[in-house]
Amino acid sequence: MLIRLESWPSALSDYLLRAERIRFRYGSQDCGLFVAGAIRAMTGIDVASTLRGYTNRAEAFNRIATLCGTPTMEAVAGHLAALHGVPEVPVLCAQRGDAVLLRSGRRSSLGIVAMHGTEILTPYRAGLLRLPLSYARRAWHI
């Protein structure tokens, strides 16, 4: 089970401020590693340690398929949540720092509930994209 450190609010805020200026790139600043970085800032645990090392989309989804059988963000989020004892919560109960699954058509991505609790942050071309919490389809309490 993941437990937030006592200093998690300031650690998460610092992480998000740094991430705001980093462009999207598979293997360093994609949605999965962004969320894993936020979780690491809050808990000190790297939930994505078994996934790291890829450099493009194909490699990323091959690693996900190898790890959990299905090459989707939803599958890897569920797998890692179960592995680390992270409970799923109703989306409307998601709070700042919680991980969320965003779905748009057939594609999905991951994000973190922002510090004020009303938006989701997820990596985008030139930094972080801010979306309303209503875009979330699933949520996990970190």
Number of C-beta neighbours around residue 43 at 10 A: 20
CATH: 3.90.1150.10, 3.40.228.10, 3.90.1720.10, 1.10.10.10. Which one for 8-140?
Answer: 3.90.1720.10
Q: What was the pLDDT predicted at 103?
A: 82
Model pLDDT for residues 27-62, shown as the tens digit of each residue: 999 999 999 999 999 999 999 999 999 999 999 999
Q: What was the pLDDT predicted at 1?
A: 86
Query: Taking residues 97-123, what's their average pLDDT?
Result: 92
* pTM for this predicted structure: 0.95
Where are the chain's structural domains? 8-140
